[in-house]
Amino acid sequence: MFSGEYEHTIDEKGRLIIPADFRAELAEGAFITRGLDGCLSVYPPAVWEAKVEELSKLPDTRRNVRYLKRMLLAGLKCKLDKQGRILLPAPLREYAGIKSEVVIIGMDSRLEIWSKERWQEKVIATIESKSSEFAEQLAELGLL
């Protein structure tokens, strides 16, 4: 299970250090793809395989399914190097608006990689402005 929030920077070659707390779960490799809301998602192999199996059951006759599959399945397999880094390809960095500073978020079965600027403007600002609304919804679901 992934959890936590970490700030890192991308080096000049587009490599990102994965926090030490996450490396064991990604030791066999990872799949990185476009995520929802403008971030990148990183999945361990077993989670990715289950996700692909779920996607394969969805009907390609539905336009939104095709677009979702294109978005997710255009990702790629990567391996951590000896320093615990992964390469973020330019097209994925562009999609996520990543230039140098990033925030890595543990999201249970996956990681999310955000441009620090986008994380603060989209996610943190929304959480802060709607925290009461979110709390009410969670209470209705019996989670608070």
pLDDT tens digits, one per residue of 84-141: 999 999 999 999 999 999 999 999 999 999 999 999 999 999 988 988 888 898 899 9
pLDDT in tens, 18-69: 999 999 999 999 999 999 999 999 999 999 999 999 999 999 999 999 999 9
pLDDT of residue 134: 81
Q: What's the token pair of residue 98? A: 């990543």
Residue 87: give the domain boundaries: 2-140
Instruction: Quickly state the pLDDT bin for 3 (edges 50, 70, 90).
Output: very high
pLDDT of residue 138: 84
Q: Cβ neighbours of residue 96 under 8 Å, at least 6 residues apart?
A: 34, 35, 38, 39, 40, 113, 114, 115, 118
Separate counts of helices (H) and strands (E) for the chain: 6, 8
Q: How far is CA 95 from the centre of its chain?
A: 12
pLDDT of residue 109: 97
CATH number, domain containing residue 55: 3.40.1550.20
- The total domain count for the chain is 1
Angle separating helix axes 45-56 and 63-73, nearest 10 degrees: 160
Q: Check: pTM over 0.85? Answer yes or no.
A: yes
pLDDT of residue 18: 97
